[in-house]
Structure 1
Amino acid sequence: MSLSGGKLFITGHNGLVGRALLRFYADKPQWQIITRSRAELDLRDQQATNAFFEAERPEYVILAAAKVGGIKASYTQPVDFLLDNLQIQNSVLSAAHRYDAKKVLFLGSTCIYPKVVEMPIREDSLLTGPMEETNAPYGVAKIAGIKLCQGYRHQHGRDFICGMPANLYGPFDNFDPEHSHVLPSLVRRFHEAKRTNAPTVTLWGSGTPKREFLFVDDLASACAFLLENYSSSEIINIGCGWEISIREAAEIIREIVGYQGEIRWDTSQPDGNPRRLLDISRMEKLGWKAKTGFREGVAHTYRWFLENRATART
């Protein structure tokens, strides 16, 4: 399948993923990119979303809009994370069906998978066990989105597909130390420690858990690839296929930031899951692989953070 272009609605275009998608499609004039800010269109509002789809008639949709945050945010705001994401998904997917969009790519998350699961995580692990409790509201919403996409395909023949990205990072990430994910939080922590000449930085846990980090521009490439090359009811993992310990990641980030102090590990604090690595064999068989190494991606992210310090989410 080869797409010659068309009208593509990128939801959540001001976020981490949406910005990467805009960068990817910036030099592809065959695609007419449609965006709306949250102020212009509240995707939780079904009536407003229907009116937008009726007026614009997007042929393709990448559903990257979501209420996102770290463990603390998800744990303290379960109603918001569940309802907002359900409303966004229901609104966009039903409008895409009603106004005859040719294809929709719904982006989920690795937190849909069980807390205890065989590594690397295969797509068929979905719903084989309980999720991590702190991420459950977000995960439940994403699973509902998956099931809705599968339902539209089964009941109405819609070409709605679902991609599950690994942990993402890159330009336009959220660097707030309280509400961000682990990698941008480390960037911010080491940057502030360097700026204030702090002798030590204390990090939670032992540093032994391993995580898979996917540079967000690689995800944008994968999204475009899936729009052109994938059509199935089955979800598909999007990752880089390797993992790194939090301790090793912290050392690399410290080096890139240029912080000379000591890292201390507070082992009285929880580690979380020991591993979260995706099985990406389906993507590899289709012919796509991530290109950005961890050190390269972190260096790019930190350069962006320094250049956009005044406007970055901190």
Structure 2
Amino acid sequence: MKPDTRIYVAGHRGMVGSAFVRRLQAAGFTNLLLPGRDEVDLVDQAKTYAWFEKNKPEVVFVAAAKVGGILANKTYPADFIRDNLAIALNCVEGARRSGVQRLLFLGSSCIYPKIAPQPMPEDCLLTSPLEPTNEAYALAKIAGLKLCQHYRNQYGLLFHSAMPTNLYGPGDNYHLQNSHVFAAFIRKFHEAKESGAKEVVVWGTGAAKREFLHVDDLADAIFFLLQVDDPPDWINVGTGEDVSIKEFAEAVQRIVGFEGRIVWDSSKPDGTPRKLMDVSRLSGLGWKAKIGLEEGIRKTYAAFLEEKSAGRLRDF
């Protein structure tokens, strides 16, 4: 890509999209297309097609999505599958119609089976059932990935996908019910410290294992992949390392400075037992994550405090 390439970042106000915009700007890219939802609602097919036709981007990164944690996925499955299917189809077909030659679609590690080989290779996709608590979201992401694969095969377009592991970082959503585990823990432990609470109750047993990737690392990986001449149809993006939720909770507790105790509510689900990405394909291309978990938690907590102080904390 050249610095004057017209790049559309769908979902630029979200955690991933904003991180990618920062990465592009740091590399000197200035011709960025960053419309808000008031300008183009990606769930609306006609408006999406019209926007693509009018603005003619050259490269598209689809980070827009309806996202949430276990509770949100269990409570609103119809909303998750409907909106995410619409976003994927409208962006991919809208890009094709307007002459876009390169598009990268952002998936998720939840596309892989609940009981998958660990670490999870790309080719374990669709080999056994998904985790029920986020099946609706996962199916929509699988559909987006397959759209890119088949459009690439049929139309000769360089449409491909990246599957990140669990993400965290500046701009995350800190709603206690609808957020992902990383953001929920940051807020829970911070508010417990502020209120002088004696304990923090956490869902599950703490035994499930998760891999966490700082969003700035993901943005760097996306920037890298968009410059690979012949990338795989989809590729995992992660650190290749995981920790138990118990270990993670204790790390957040320590860094935030909460001095009470953690209570595990084992009546609540753990979700998928383990989700570790096989990142050998990406490392084979020459990219590896740089931000360690300890450093990442500290950076994210600092960003949380800054966003909260400035009244910019996402909470919905």
Range into which the TM-score falls when normalised by the shorter chain: over 0.9
**Separation of aligned partners in 2, 1:28 and 1:219:** 15
Deviation, 1:268, is 3.2
1:58-102 deviation per Cα after TM superposition (whole angstroms, max 9, x unaligned):
000000001111111111111111111111111111111111112
Deviates more, 1:21-30 or 1:7-16: 21-30
1:140 corresponds in structure 2 to 139
2:301 corresponds in structure 1 to 302
Structure 2: which amino acid aligns with 1:134? T
Deviation, 1:175, is 0.8
**Separation of aligned partners in 2, 1:52 and 1:182:** 35
Deviation, 1:53, is 1.4
1:4 corresponds in structure 2 to 2
Deviation, 1:208, is 1.7
1:239 and 2:238 correspond: yes
The percentage of counterpart residues that share the same residue type is: 49
Deviation, 1:266, is 2.3
1:312 corresponds in structure 2 to 313
5+ residue gaps in structure 2? none
Q: Give me the CA root mean square deviation.
A: 1.2
Deviation, 1:234, is 2.8
**Separation of aligned partners in 2, 1:201 and 1:82:** 32
**Separation of aligned partners in 2, 1:30 and 1:273:** 39
Deviation, 1:54, is 1.6
Structure 1: which amino acid aligns with 2:271? G
Deviation, 1:45, is 1.6
Structure 2: which amino acid aligns with 1:19? S
Q: How does 1:1-314 map to 2 (within 5 A)?
A: 3-5=1-3, 6-229=5-228, 231-232=230-231, 234-309=233-308, 310-314=311-315
Deviates more, 1:50-59 or 1:112-121: 50-59
1:217-263 deviation per Cα after TM superposition (whole angstroms, max 9, x unaligned):
00000001000015345310000110011111111111111111111
**Separation of aligned partners in 1, 2:251 and 2:225:** 31
C-alpha contact (below 8 Å) 1:214/1:239 kept by paired residues: yes
C-alpha contact (below 8 Å) 1:161/1:231 kept by paired residues: no
Structure 1: which amino acid aligns with 2:188? R
C-alpha contact (below 8 Å) 2:131/2:271 kept by paired residues: no
Structure 1: which amino acid aligns with 2:2? S
C-alpha contact (below 8 Å) 1:153/1:233 kept by paired residues: no
Deviation, 1:275, is 1.1
C-alpha contact (below 8 Å) 2:70/2:271 kept by paired residues: no
1:169-224 deviation per Cα after TM superposition (whole angstroms, max 9, x unaligned):
00110111111111110000000100100011121222121100000000000001
**Separation of aligned partners in 2, 1:223 and 1:129:** 28
**Separation of aligned partners in 2, 1:149 and 1:39:** 26
SS in 2 for 1:308: helix
Runs of at least 4 residues off by over 6 Å: none
Deviates more, 1:72-81 or 1:136-145: 72-81
SS in 1 for 2:258: coil
What TM-score comes out, normalization by structure 1 length? 0.96
Number of residue equivalences: 312
Structure 2: which amino acid aligns with 1:284? S
SS in 2 for 1:228: coil
C-alpha contact (below 8 Å) 1:103/1:158 kept by paired residues: yes
Structure 2: which amino acid aligns with 1:281? S
SS in 2 for 1:66: coil
Deviation, 1:271, is 2.3
Describe the shift of the 1:216–1:198 C-alpha distance in structure 2 as closer, same or farther (beyond 3 A).
Answer: same
SS in 2 for 1:229: coil
Deviation, 1:288, is 0.2
Describe the shift of the 1:263–1:30 C-alpha distance in structure 2 as closer, same or farther (beyond 3 A).
Answer: closer
5+ residue gaps in structure 1? none
**Separation of aligned partners in 1, 2:66 and 2:29:** 30
SS in 2 for 1:288: coil
Structure 2: which amino acid aligns with 1:296? E
Deviation, 1:273, is 2.3
C-alpha contact (below 8 Å) 1:212/1:277 kept by paired residues: yes
SS in 2 for 1:142: helix
Describe the shift of the 1:128–1:230 C-alpha distance in structure 2 as closer, same or farther (beyond 3 A).
Answer: farther
Deviates more, 1:107-116 or 1:226-235: 226-235
1:93-118 deviation per Cα after TM superposition (whole angstroms, max 9, x unaligned):
11111111120000101111111111
C-alpha contact (below 8 Å) 1:194/1:260 kept by paired residues: yes
C-alpha contact (below 8 Å) 2:225/2:231 kept by paired residues: no
Describe the shift of the 1:191–1:82 C-alpha distance in structure 2 as closer, same or farther (beyond 3 A).
Answer: same
**Separation of aligned partners in 1, 2:269 and 2:200:** 17
